[in-house]
Chain A
Amino acid sequence: MAYSDKVVDHYNNPRNVGSLDKSDQTVGTGIVGAPECGDVMKLQIKVDDGGLIEDAKFKTFGCGSAIASSSLATEWLKGKTVDEAEEIKNTQIVEELNLPPVKIHCSVLAEDAIKTALNDFREKNGMPLVERKGHH
Chain B
Amino acid sequence: MSEIVGIDLGTTNSLVASVSEGEPAILAPEGERGIVPSVVSFRSDCVLTGDEAQDERVSNSRNTIFSIKRFMGRGYEDVKDDMRHLPFEADPDEREVVHVLAQGRSYSAPEVSALVLRRLKSRAEETLGRPVLRAVVTVPAYFNDAQRQATKDAGKLAGLEVLRIINEPTAASLAYGLHERNRGVVAVYDLGGGTFDISLLRIKDGVFEVLSTGGDTRLGGDDFDQAISLHIQKEILERYGVDLGETSEALAELALLAENVKKTLSDSDSTEYILENPGGVPLAHKGSLAREEMEALLWPIAERTLAPCKRALADAGLTPGEVDEVVLVGGSTRMPLIRRMVEELFEKRPHVDLDPDEVVALGAAVQADILSGGRKDMLLLDVTPLSLGIETMGGVMGWIIPRNTTIPTSARETYTTFKDNQTGVDIHVLQGERELVKDNRSLARFRLAVDPAPAGLARVEVTFLLDANGILNVTARDLKSGKAASVEVQPSYGLTDEQVERMLIESFEHAEQDIRSRQVLDARTEAETILMAAARAMNDYGEDVVTASERAKIQEAVNALEESCRGEDAGRIRDMVDALNEVTMPLAERMMDNVLKSALENKRVSEALKD
Contact = CB atoms under 8 A, between A and B. Distances in A.
A and B touch in the complex (CB under 8 A): yes
Interface of A: 1, 3, 7-8, 10-12, 63-65, 68, 91, 94-95, 97-103
Contact of A101 (B413, B419, B435, B445): B413
A99 B456 contact: no
A12 B413 contact: no
A9 to B, nearest CB: 8
B107 interface: no
Give the residue among B398, B414, B419, B445 with the most A Cβ atoms within 10 A.
Answer: B398
Nearest to B396: A64
B428 interface: yes
A102 B426 contact: no
Interface in B376-401: 390-396, 398-400
A102 B392 CA distance: 9
Nearest to B462: A101
12 contacts: A1-B426, A3-B393, A63-B396, A63-B435, A64-B392, A64-B394, A65-B396, A65-B398, A91-B418, A94-B418, A100-B390, A100-B415
Contacts of B532: none
Contacts of A10: 394
A104 B295 CA distance: 52
Given A1-B428, A97-B393, A103-B398, A64 B413 contact: no
Contacts of B436: 64
A12 B394 contact: yes
B477 to A, nearest CB: 14
Given A64-B435, A91-B456, A97 B413 contact: no
Given A95-B419, A101-B415, A102-B413, A11 B396 contact: yes
Interface in B425-481: 426-428, 435-436, 445, 456
Interface of B: 390-396, 398-400, 413-415, 418-419, 426-428, 435-436, 445, 456
Nearest to A69: B393
B461 to A, nearest CB: 10
A98 B398 CA distance: 12
A99 B397 CA distance: 11
Contacts of A97: 392-394
Given A1-B428, A102-B413, A7 B418 contact: no
A3 B400 CA distance: 22
A103 to B, nearest CB: 5
Contacts of B428: 1
Contacts of B398: 65, 100, 102-103
A99 B419 contact: no
B424 to A, nearest CB: 11
Given A63-B435, A97-B392, A102-B392, 7 more contacts: A1-B428, A8-B395, A63-B396, A94-B418, A100-B427, A101-B414, A103-B398
A94 B414 CA distance: 14
A75 B208 CA distance: 54
Nearest to B414: A101
B413 A100 contact: yes
B393 A65 contact: yes
Contacts of B400: 102
Nearest to B417: A95
Contacts of A94: 418
A3 B393 CA distance: 8
Contacts of A103: 392-393, 398
Given A100-B415, A100-B427, A102-B400, A68 B456 contact: no
Interface core residue of A8, A10, A95, A101 (most chain B CB under 10 Å): A101
Contacts of B427: 100
A91 B457 CA distance: 13
A97 B398 CA distance: 13
A95 B425 CA distance: 11
Contact of B399 (A11, A68, A91, A102): A102
A3 B392 contact: no
A51 to B, nearest CB: 30
Closest 6 CB pairs of A and B: A11-B394, A64-B396, A95-B418, A97-B393, A102-B398, A98-B393
Given A1-B428, A91-B456, A99 B393 contact: yes
B396 A1 contact: no
Contact of B392 (A12, A91, A95, A99): A99
B395 to A, nearest CB: 7
A51 B196 CA distance: 63
A11 B395 CA distance: 8
A100 B394 contact: no
B417 to A, nearest CB: 9
A11 B418 contact: no
A94 B398 CA distance: 14
Contacts of B393: 3, 7-8, 11, 65, 68, 97-99, 103
A95 B400 CA distance: 20
Given A101-B413, A102-B398, A102-B413, A65 B392 contact: yes
